[in-house]
Structure 1
């Protein structure tokens, strides 16, 4: 599995083969991306799928009021 989405995967995600349409879709949906030297959007898998091994710690509430 590669680090970035393929062009076919990006086309399927954005539902358009046009790079301008893909960029507009990514911006409207807040998906982090960058443009390569040819103007095509590049999206990392983490930006779409999230991190799999991410452990969310549960923070306990602690009063900051002096007793």
Structure 2
């Protein structure tokens, strides 16, 4: 698995089938995000942005301990 996407062989290994229709069904059933390029190849994006985008000018919340002071 090199790069940002899987190769054809890696897709076949992941889905355990060389048939494209069954591979797409596997992706749908398991909630794997994919897209199809102009050559009808399945492209699985391995890295996707997670969470809300962080703005550099937004203030960070101040951390305070929730332990009781004795």
Structure with greater helix share of residues = 1
Runs of 5+ unmatched residues, structure 2: 51-70
Q: What is the total number of aligned residue pairs between the two structures?
A: 48
Moved over 3 A (4+): none
- Larger Cα Rg: Structure 1 or Structure 2? 2
Runs of 5+ unmatched residues, structure 1: 52-67
TM-score normalised according to structure 1 size: 0.62
Q: How does 1:1-67 map to 2 (within 5 A)?
A: 1-46=2-47
TM-score normalised according to structure 2 size: 0.60
